[in-house]
Amino acid sequence: MITRTATIASSVGLHARPAAIFAKAAADTDLDITISLGDEEADAASVLEVMTLGAKHGDEVTLSCEDDGAEAALDSLVDLLGRDLDKE
């Protein structure tokens, strides 16, 4: 399993627009990626599941994937979460 840690930079956290941008990017990878906050896990490609996590600005989330070729995709998603997606 490959994992990466990211800090949520969006001022509103992973709510509405930032969650939709992130979920679309995760879905576009065609990989089964999980995002977790504490003990809660969500399918990274599901806007509703991502929003349900309730990740706020500054929270640290973990992205994980079982696919050995997922390094670049996870790195890209970490970079995405490191930007204020509500302003893009």
Q: Is 15 a catalytic residue?
A: yes
3 state SS of 30 = coil
Identity at 84, one-letter amino acid code: D
Angle at the Cα of 55 (from 77 to 42), degrees rounded to 5?
Answer: 65
Pairing of β 2-7 and β 33-37 = unpaired
d(CA 28, CA 37): 22
Catalytic residue among 6, 15, 44, 50: 15
Residues with a catalytic annotation lie at: 15
